[in-house]
Copies of this chain bind each other. A is one copy, B any other.
Amino acid sequence: MKVLVYNGALNEKHIQEIEEASKKAGVELCFTSSENDIPEGFEDSEVVYGYGMNLVNADKIRGNKNLKWISMISAGIDYALKPGFFANENVIITNSSGSYGVTIAEHIIAVSLMMMRKLTLTYASSLQGEWGSLSMQKSLKDCHITVLGTGDIGTCFAKRVKAFEPAEIIGVSRSGKNQDPVYDKMYSVDQLDEVLPGTELLVMSLPGTTETEGILSRERISLLPEGAYVVNVGRGSAIDYDALMESLNSERLGGAALDVFKVEPLPEDSPLWTTKNILITPHSAGNLTLDYTRDKNVHQFCENLMNYVESKPLQHVVDKVQGY
């Protein structure tokens, strides 16, 4: 059995861990630095570990009819679910859900506090060499927080923000059935309209699916109370950004921190850049620039490789119908 690894962020320790796992699993292993450098004989590998968004352009990987399992380094894999994306339409796709919760949770808390504490303004002043002026701040303490999407990312955030003593943390998920006690209340997506008017901080950590597309519509944005904050770390498609911009420019909303966009990088001429009280980050909330994320990502693959060769159930298998 041949295993091809393409992960540009591996250090010596990771390579060693993968080599040891492969030896234990009894598979042939090779590393590649790009699709054009795949060593001879590994073009038809049964297993591939690696690839995030760049898989879109990896024709050889996608065209490999012998590919049975692809272990993706990213958490969101919506782009790989289009019909015909893989030559083998029965390929098993696993994602790296579980390795991004910590880093994205830290991002959400950082950008929420930057907005609520007006650090967006004072830091911008300091970059000009100017002592900023003070303005009214908001706090996570006593804040009514709604987490839309209660997977690993949303729940890692909820566990951290709990220590800030918010008024309540409401979780909203597809089924409304997350059992984690960190959520004070759980609602299903069908009940979202009931939850929004009482939400001061809305954190969106949803996968990109047909169900989540446009979920924060113009109507729903108008249900948020004056001064509310929105953080989006899932997919840009989840929000009506035109309506969001209007609510920000009219200062009805307090601010929005956006890490994901319909087109990335965000085009130079996007009106989002100059929208009031916006905090734009370059899809930097969750990626392999954090050691912990890389370590966990590699570790999860190695565990799953043993599951695969022993015909045990794989972890983090993507449900191609649900889309995550």
Contact = CB atoms under 8 A, between A and B. Distances in A.
A137 interface: yes
B164 A162 contact: no
Nearest to A160: B163
A292 to B, nearest CB: 5
A118 interface: yes
A273 B126 contact: yes
Interface residues of A, number: 55
A165 B136 CA distance: 30
Contacts of A106: 113, 117, 139-141, 164
A66 interface: no
Contact of A279 (B123, B141, B164, B281): B123
A217 interface: no
Contacts of A140: 106
Given A163-B160, A163-B163, A164-B160, A134 B290 contact: no
A135 B9 CA distance: 12
Contacts of A159: 163
A119 B114 contact: yes
A72 to B, nearest CB: 18
A266 interface: yes
29 contacts: A102-B165, A103-B139, A107-B113, A107-B117, A109-B110, A110-B119, A111-B119, A114-B114, A114-B119, A119-B281, A120-B123, A122-B282, A122-B284, A123-B281, A126-B279, A131-B264, A131-B266, A131-B282, A132-B284, A133-B282, A134-B282, A134-B284, A137-B289, A137-B290, A139-B291, A142-B292, A159-B163, A160-B164, A161-B163
Given A122-B281, A126-B282, 14 more contacts: A106-B113, A107-B113, A109-B113, A120-B123, A123-B281, A124-B127, A129-B268, A129-B273, A134-B284, A134-B287, A135-B289, A141-B292, A142-B292, A160-B163
